[in-house]
Amino acid sequence: MSKWENNIRKVVPYVPGEQPKDTSAIKLNTNENPYPPAPGVAEALRNLDPASFRLYPDPSASLLTEEIAKLYGVGQDQVFVGVGSDDVLAMAFLTCFHSDKPILFPDITYSFYDVWADLFRIPYEKQPLDETFRIRTEDYKKENGGIIFPNPNAPTGLFMPLDAVEEIVRANPGVIVIVDEAYIDFGGTSALGLLSKYDNLLIAQTFSKSRSMAGMRIGFLLGNPALIRLINDCKYSFNSYTMSQAAIALGTAAVRDREYFYECTQKIIRTRERAKKKFLELGFLCGDSMGNFLFVAHPKYRAAELFAALKDAGIYVRHFCTPERISNYLRVTVGTDNEMDALFAFLEQYRPDDRSN
Ligand code: PMP
């Protein structure tokens, strides 16, 4: 052991889904969008001038925040942008969760939350989902230092109605409630309408799913101007230039094309609903996901085995070993119709003991 080891920070990092080198793999493991971004994004890319790269980007990314503000009908001072929602959520944790009391989030949820809490030494208490994997609003009415949950939740995909979201926000005026809406554009209703009513509400969204821009890393927060200013203060105490010139220009183009966004999300919703039916026909349990993924389990298959068999066949899905309650589930991203057909063709001929032969 090195002499310095007791004096450094050690954390258990978040483990992202695999990015296989094989480009022919069917990738249904990280909830990316199977369709390309809006055509305007390619044009904005062609218009980028490398000569301008010698300059720092606009630290406030104002082109992008202006476009997002216009889209959602909020003030530009209510928008904070960053390098994916992972970045904006980390900044929100750092800024908003600064209490000795534990923050609350579900026991089955996005597995980055406890990583940020540990990193920033924020105490936390996980609240168990009920037996149908639903969030119980009453669990979020005890004393706490802040609250975060995704809506729809991940990896279950289950959407919590807005009146339940409001109940939690209303019951906690003394802390910030973050609603992580990474998957809201696939059929859920955003808490956006509650922003004018509650100054303790913060909404996080991403360009990675519904806008097909996971590789560009763009996410944003919507909240009241005073809170957004405080989050900006933390950001500027950390890194002024989080958004590259390219991310600002291409993200702005993505937001402008509202028609493409609508068509693309509708296509995914249609494929998801078809896939839900198919999973049920094949004997899987499949919840009513409102995300761009499905959370499935088969009473006769072991998820870890099916995961490995699919991977051998070049089909990547996601398997979480913990918590125990979901260890027999797989999370399957909604791909194109053809990709889903390939998955179902595999499942139709799958026999659990195939691999032990
Ligand atoms: N929140 C949830 C619930 C997610 O599933 C993800 C995707 N891994 C994120 C946030 C982060 O997405 P990104 O950083 O790509 O915006």
Q: Whose CA is nearest to atom 6 of ligand 1?
A: 182
Residue nearest to atom 8 of ligand 1 (CA): 30
Residue nearest to atom 12 of ligand 1 (CA): 85
17 phi, psi to nearest 5 deg: -65, 155
Indicate whether residue 186 lines ligand 1 (CB < 6 A).
no
For residue 106, the cross-strand partners are 127
Cβ–Cβ < 8 Å for 65, 222: no
Ligand 1 test: best mutation among 85, 87, 151, most atoms within 8 Å of CB?
Answer: 85
Residues 197, 139, 189, CA angle at the centre, nearest 5°? 45
Ligand 1 close to Cβ of residue 139 (< 6 A): no
Strands 124-127 and 103-106: parallel
- Please tell me the distance between residue 352's alpha carbon and the centre of ligand 1 in angstroms: 32
Query: If you measure from the C-alpha of residue 150 to the centroid of ligand 1, how many angstroms do you get, rounded to a whole number?
Result: 9
110 within ligand 1 shell (Cβ under 6 A): yes
The ranges of the chain with pLDDT < 70 are 354-357
Distance CA 66, CA 335 (A): 31
- Describe the crossing of helices 84-96 and 225-236 by its angle, rounded to 10 degrees: 100
3-state secondary structure at position 76: helix
Residue 267, Cβ density class (10 Å: 0-12 exposed, 13-18 middle, ≥19 buried): middle
Choice from 31, 87, 112, 114 to test ligand 1 binding pocket (greatest atom count within 8 A of CB): 112
Strand partners, 146: 103
In this prediction, residue 164 carries a pLDDT of 98
- Distance from the alpha carbon of residue 220 to the mean position of ligand 1, in angstroms: 11
Element containing residue 233 per DSSP (H, E): helix 225-236
Distance separating alpha carbons of residues 106 and 350, to the nearest angstrom:
34
Ligand 1: does its nearest atom lie under 6 Å from the Cβ of 85? yes
Q: How far is the CA of 51 from the centre of ligand 1 (A)?
A: 33
Cβ of 150 less than 6 Å from ligand 1: yes
Q: Among all chains, which residue has been given the structure tokens 């720092």?
A: 56
Asked whether 32 lines ligand 1 (CB < 6 A), one says no
pLDDT of residue 171: 98
Question: What is the Å distance from ligand 1's center to 268 Cα?
Answer: 18
Model pLDDT, residue 357 = 40
Q: Is the CB of 214 under 6 A from ligand 1?
A: yes
CA distance linking residue 57 with residue 54, whole number of Å: 9
User: Average model confidence (pLDDT) for the chain?
Assistant: 96
Q: Is the CB of 208 under 6 A from ligand 1?
A: yes
Position 352 scores a pLDDT of: 87
C-alpha 112 to ligand 1 mean position (Å): 9
Kindly state the tokens that stand for 356.
């032990």
Give the pLDDT score at 1.
80
Q: What is the pLDDT of residue 72?
A: 98
CA 355 to chain centre: 33
Q: How far apart are CA 166 and CA 161, in angstroms?
A: 9
User: Which region holds residue 189: left if phi is over 0, alpha if psi is between -120 and 50, else beta?
Assistant: beta
Ligand 1 contact, 247 CB (< 6 A) = no
The owner of tokens 């009920």 is 130
